[in-house]
Amino acid sequence: MGNSADKIKPEVRALRAYTLSPDRARVKINQNENPWDAPARIKAETLRRLEARRWSRYPDFTAASLHARLAEFSGWQTKGIVAGNGSNELIQALLMVTVGPGKRVLICEPTFALYRQITTVLGGEVISLPLTLELSYDTDALQRTVRDLQPDVTIVCSPNNPTGCVLDGRDIRALLESTNGLLVIDEAYHEFAEHSVVTLLPDHENLIVLRTFSKAMALAALRVGYLLAVPGLATEVSKAVLPYNLNAVSQTAAEVAVEMYEDELRPLVRKIITERERLYRELSTIKSLTPVPSLANFIIVKSAIDPKQVFAELLKRNILIRDVSGHPMLSDYFRLSVGTPEENDLLLSALREICG
Amino acid sequence: MGNSADKIKPEVRALRAYTLSPDRARVKINQNENPWDAPARIKAETLRRLEARRWSRYPDFTAASLHARLAEFSGWQTKGIVAGNGSNELIQALLMVTVGPGKRVLICEPTFALYRQITTVLGGEVISLPLTLELSYDTDALQRTVRDLQPDVTIVCSPNNPTGCVLDGRDIRALLESTNGLLVIDEAYHEFAEHSVVTLLPDHENLIVLRTFSKAMALAALRVGYLLAVPGLATEVSKAVLPYNLNAVSQTAAEVAVEMYEDELRPLVRKIITERERLYRELSTIKSLTPVPSLANFIIVKSAIDPKQVFAELLKRNILIRDVSGHPMLSDYFRLSVGTPEENDLLLSALREICG
């Protein structure tokens, strides 16, 4: 008896699951990963700590030791930090404690798809503001919309995925001051912009900052993210974070990465920034391509040739980029992550062949 | 401007976070873990596969290779399996796609605290049915309540945490046939009961089974669980499971554990069952204690001495049990997990001293 499908919320049934093509290639520049592996010293030290630990025992209820190290690393207080199974989990927890039917979430699209997906699952309303035609934040419209509509939550990804644009500190301060809702700044790519709004936290109790270990920190395989906010707000968000959400291996790897960041990871971030600037210059010289300036570890490129065709031609040459042409405003664009210098050379020569 | 606390849902603000005392002791029998570490062969093979992998790369979008192995392991189809970051994540995903204001979730209490917590965060209504005075399922009342109230979701933990009682296959079939809602059987402890309802899946599209790697599988540190249901239902649940939810290390460890289960883990499960029966017999001989029969890897014990005092006296002797006296109906009880034979001997002699 009973049709189980009836029990699924209609807004969930209507949703297409967020998926990614399972293509593989030797040059993998489709997910904005750090193109180098996690440094050998970080891997070795993590494995060493891991071998000594009992795997049959639960990890810490909350990742207390990691929280303490993240506090030191970020310059924010331990009680205002929540680590999660990727920043995705923290976006979800935050929306779970704030969004339901009748609640409104403002986002600027195109942006990371998950904000819309989770808001929808929770029965909230998405208010979508387009980027400018140059694919940067429309700061005036954003300011006006926040002031006039007073959304419950506003989420800004800065640098933005998939466009690379940023909302600067002055504009973020202005937003914080004109809303009685929460403002979430997703700093997944902040290391490549060498900028953060963590310094605004002491004066703004409606600010939430999200960060990840999947990009600059080179630990995408391990799924670690963290959220920073005033302690009262962090506590409320953590009620929707499941106990033992962060496994012991990922906690350990993240601690080691933070301890060794200056020596092992920052030099890689510097190389990626240098390569991003070189890629931008070189892409600008290819006839049918127009790269968009980016402060992240990826570049979105306008293409006079159908981007799906560029994607397919590159894949034939063992290079996997990201097809973003299904996003609003991006039907003429593709996205590429900054690879190692050798990978970038391979990419540039392939693109000259295909689009030159 | 703005008071950020206003933006948190009132039902969340009212919630006390689910926490656990941070006590430590040499004999740790408070979390129903496998008292042996994960077998050395499983750890070594996991670390070997891990060293070879790039940590900077995302894990599979969904854990496809683990899903295939779990299908073989459980005797259910791959498309009907969803692996998660502990079964907690899957309980949450399931409730996210089904529960909101106006929806009702039936549970039998005392039981695992998370069912109530997540339902509340999502704005659903919890219908709570008590266990019998003997702390077993009240099958008649359960049957009647399901039939008369037709809850949207009914969750039964079997064997039940923290009491160890089970709902047998016949009663589960009867429930499935009298509800048009979903029936979730949480089989976190099924290995110790040597019983599963996975065989009912082909004929019941409203059945959902949950399992974990944190107990018999000895991988609590790694946080892996899985859900089994008809493919249509599994697909809907997976829409609320975040992409890349399961990190690469945990996927790998779970695959290795499944591959080596028969040789490495089943013998430990057998030992735990033998020890549980011995513990039950021995506890029955202690004057002020009455253990409750259990088919899990833990036993709940009625104590004529204040269970908080028993807890404290054991902790002084470096033994950490679980204080469950705050649960409904359990003010006179404490819970202990089945340890190694040596740990159980230490426990018994301490209890004879304290309660004999």
Q: Which residues contact A174 (CB under 8 A, 6 or more apart)?
A: A143
For residue B5, pLDDT over 70 is answered with no
Dig out the tokens for B148 from the structure.
């008369």
For residue B16, pLDDT over 80 is answered with no
pLDDT band, residue A7 (cuts 50/70/90)? confident
Contact A151, A181 (CB under 8 A): yes
CB atoms within 10 A of CB B332: 14
Beta bridge partners of B333: B302
For residue B174, pLDDT over 60 is answered with yes
Contact B4/A121, CB-based, under 8 Å? no
For residue B296, pLDDT over 60 is answered with yes
Dig out the tokens for B35 from the structure.
């008292």
- Which value, to the nearest 10 degrees, does the dihedral of the CA atoms of residues B218, B220, B224, B228 take? 70
Contact B7/A249, CB-based, under 8 Å? no
What pLDDT score was predicted for residue A3? 62
Mutation to test the A interface, candidates B1, B3, B6, B7, most A Cβ within 10 Å: B7
**Nearest neighbour of A56 by CB, restricted to B38, B47, B85:** B38
Residues of chain A neighbouring B35 (CB-CB closer than 8 A):
56
pLDDT, tens digit, for every residue of A94-119?
999 999 999 999 999 999 999 999 99
- Chain A, nearest residue to B93 by Cα: A121
Residues of chain A neighbouring B180 (CB-CB closer than 8 A):
1-3, 6
What pLDDT score was predicted for residue A1? 42
Show contacts of A276-282: CB within 8 Å, 24+ apart. A276/A192, A276/A338, A278/A344, A279/A336, A279/A338, A279/A344, A279/A347, A279/A348, A282/A348
CB atoms within 10 A of CB A6: 13
pLDDT, tens digit, for every residue of A13-28?
888 766 666 778 999 9
Choose the final residue of a domain: B229, B260, B291: B260
Question: Rounded CA gap, B176 and B352, in Å?
Answer: 45
Per-residue exposure over A163-180, b if at least 16 CB sit within 10 Å of its own CB, e if not? bbbbbeeebbebbbebbe
Question: Whose CA is closest to A335, among A211, A155, A157, A165?
Answer: A165
CATH of the domain at A72: 3.40.640.10
Same domain assignment for residues A69 and A126: yes
Rounded to 10 deg, the angle between the B40-51 and A40-51 helix axes is 170
Same domain assignment for residues A151 and A287: no
Contact A15, B192 (CB under 8 A): no
Dig out the tokens for B69 from the structure.
């192995």
Which has the higher per-residue pLDDT, B63 or B325?
A: B325
Choose the final residue of a domain: B260, B295, B324: B260
**Nearest neighbour of A7 by CB, restricted to B59, B152, B218:** B152
Residues of chain A neighbouring B8 (CB-CB closer than 8 A):
97-98, 233, 236
What pLDDT score was predicted for residue A295? 98
How close does chain A come to B178, measured CA to CA in Å? 7
Question: Rounded CA gap, A148 and A106, in Å?
Answer: 12
Dig out the tokens for A309 from the structure.
């065709």
- Residue B226 phi/psi, 5° resolution? -150, 160
Beta bridge partners of A183: A154, A207
How close does chain A come to B355, measured CA to CA in Å? 28
**Nearest neighbour of A248 by CB, restricted to B181, B221, B244:** B221
What pLDDT score was predicted for residue A327? 94
What pLDDT score was predicted for residue B1? 42
Question: Rounded CA gap, B115 and B126, in Å?
Answer: 9
Same domain assignment for residues A197 and A238: yes
Question: Rounded CA gap, B331 and B308, in Å?
Answer: 9
**Nearest neighbour of B98 by CB, restricted to A7, A57, A97:** A7
pLDDT, tens digit, for every residue of A276-327?
999 999 999 999 999 999 999 999 999 999 999 999 999 999 999 999 999 9
Same domain assignment for residues A266 and A252: no
pLDDT band, residue A2 (cuts 50/70/90)? very low
List the domain range (segments joined by +) for residue A347. Answer: 4-37+262-355
Residues of chain A neighbouring B242 (CB-CB closer than 8 A):
85-86, 88-89, 92, 114
Full DSSP string of B14-51 = TPPPP-------SEE-SS---SSPSPHHHHHHHHHHHH
Same domain assignment for residues B32 and B90: no
Burial bucket for residue B235 (CB in 10 Å: 0-12, 13-18, 19+): middle
- Chain A, nearest residue to B114 by Cα: A242
Per-residue exposure over B24-49, b if at least 16 CB sit within 10 Å of its own CB, e if not? eeebbbbbbbbbbbbbeebbebbbeb
Residues of chain B neighbouring A100 (CB-CB closer than 8 A):
9, 100-101, 123
Contact B222/A249, CB-based, under 8 Å? yes
- Which value, to the nearest 10 degrees, does the dihedral of the CA atoms of residues A258, A264, A266, A267 take? 180
Q: What is the DSSP letter of B262?
A: I
CB atoms within 10 A of CB B204: 20
Same domain assignment for residues B32 and B76: no
Dig out the tokens for A34 from the structure.
């750090």
Same domain assignment for residues B227 and B286: no
CATH of the domain at B307: 3.90.1150.10
- Residue A350 phi/psi, 5° resolution? -65, -45
- Chain A, nearest residue to B105 by Cα: A7
Same domain assignment for residues A14 and A156: no
Same domain assignment for residues A70 and A153: yes
Residues of chain B neighbouring A28 (CB-CB closer than 8 A):
57
How close does chain B come to A235, measured CA to CA in Å? 9
- With tokens 């990626």, the residue in question is A272
Mean pLDDT (whole number) for A38-55: 94
Mean pLDDT (whole number) for A212-228: 98
What pLDDT score was predicted for residue A62? 80
Contact B55/A220, CB-based, under 8 Å? yes
Contact A47/B51, CB-based, under 8 Å? yes
pLDDT band, residue A269 (cuts 50/70/90)? very high
Contact B232/A88, CB-based, under 8 Å? no
For residue A5, pLDDT over 70 is answered with no
Contact A96/B121, CB-based, under 8 Å? yes
- Chain B, nearest residue to A47 by Cα: B47
Q: Which residues contact A326 (CB under 8 A, 6 or more apart)?
A: none
For residue B289, pLDDT over 60 is answered with yes
Contact A12/B240, CB-based, under 8 Å? yes
Contact B112, A243 (CB under 8 A): no
Same domain assignment for residues B292 and B184: no
The separation between the first and the last C-alpha atoms of chain A, rounded to the nearest angstrom, is 63
Query: What residue spans of chain A are helical by DSSP H?
Result: 10-13, 40-51, 64-74, 87-98, 114-121, 139-149, 169-178, 190-193, 231-238, 248-259, 266-284, 307-316, 341-355
Residues of chain A neighbouring B13 (CB-CB closer than 8 A):
236
**Nearest neighbour of B243 by CB, restricted to A5, A88, A179:** A88
CA distances (Å), origin A270, targets A191, A264, A335, B315: 9, 11, 21, 52
Mean pLDDT (whole number) for B150-161: 98
pLDDT, tens digit, for every residue of B99-109?
999 999 999 99
What total of structural domains would you count in chain B? 2
Residues of chain B neighbouring A88 (CB-CB closer than 8 A):
242-245
Rounded to 10 deg, the angle between the A248-259 and A40-51 helix axes is 140
Mutation to test the B interface, candidates A96, A104, A242, most B Cβ within 10 Å: A242
Mutation to test the A interface, candidates B114, B239, B297, most A Cβ within 10 Å: B239
Chains A, B: CB pairs < 8 Å: 261
Contact A101/B101, CB-based, under 8 Å? yes
Contact B36/A56, CB-based, under 8 Å? yes
CA distances (Å), origin B137, targets A284, B134, B142, B143, B156: 70, 9, 8, 10, 9
For residue B21, pLDDT over 70 is answered with no
Choose the final residue of a domain: B214, B243, B260: B260
How close does chain B come to A139, measured CA to CA in Å? 19
Contact B124, A101 (CB under 8 A): no
Question: Whose CA is closest to B287, among B335, B240, B354?
Answer: B354
pLDDT, tens digit, for every residue of B35-57?
999 999 999 999 999 988 999 99
CB atoms within 10 A of CB A302: 15
pLDDT band, residue B15 (cuts 50/70/90)? confident
Question: Rounded CA gap, B249 and B233, in Å?
Answer: 27
Full DSSP string of A47-75 = HHHHHTS-TTS---SS-HHHHHHHHHHHT
* 3-class SS of residue A106: strand
What pLDDT score was predicted for residue B23? 77
pLDDT, tens digit, for every residue of A244-259?
999 999 999 999 999 9
Contact B221/A180, CB-based, under 8 Å? no
For residue B324, pLDDT over 50 is answered with yes
Mean pLDDT (whole number) for A72-92: 96
Mean pLDDT score of chain A, rounded to an integer?
A: 95
Same domain assignment for residues B87 and B113: yes
Which of A165-174, B18-27, B311-320 has the weakest average pLDDT? B18-27
Mean pLDDT score of chain B, rounded to an integer?
A: 94
Which of B11-20, B79-88, B266-275 has the weakest average pLDDT? B11-20
- With tokens 């302690």, the residue in question is A231
Same domain assignment for residues A254 and A291: no
